[in-house]
Amino acid sequence: MLNLSPGSARVNLISMALSGKSVDFTKVISMIDEMVSLLKQEQTDDENKKTYCLDSIDRAEDEGKSLAIDIKSHKSGIADFTEQLDATGERLDAVSKSIAELDASVAKATKIRQDEHSEFVTVTANNAATSKLLGIAINRLNKFYAPALHKAAPKV
């Protein structure tokens, strides 16, 4: 960029060139042409930079919108998964309750089977004792009424 502040060499040269009577303006014109070309170049650079910045802003805005859509989508996905998790928790609670009820019924059935088994063992033992006692009674009756069918008791 050109330094055009008062007291600079270029400004002094231009003012000196303008104050003289027969001055060759080719240097001044060439300096002005250089300044104009430099300003045109700076303008072109500024326009290119502006275009780049606008494109960057557009890309950033588009990316921001895309990310906002992604965030919204992910939030709805999280909400869906949270609902599924809650539903799964409720199902898990229901299954746990069902298992506890089943365990209680199994324990009750086990107790009933144990009681029935104990009663069966007692009845079976009583039946065996009764059968043995009836066998002894039949043998004794056979001794009196049918001596041929009587079996002698083993001697111990």
Residue 96 DSSP one-character state: H
Domain extents for the chain? 38-145
* pLDDT, tens digit, 9 for 90 and up, residues 50-95: 999 999 999 999 999 999 999 999 999 999 999 999 999 999 999 9
The share of the chain scoring above pLDDT 90, in percent, equals: 68
What pLDDT is stored for residue 3 in this prediction? 60
What pLDDT is stored for residue 89 in this prediction? 94
CA distance 84 to 41: 63
pTM for the full model? 0.45
Confidence at 20, pLDDT banded by 50, 70, 90:
low
Confidence at 146, pLDDT banded by 50, 70, 90:
confident
State yes or no: pLDDT of 125 exceeds 80. yes
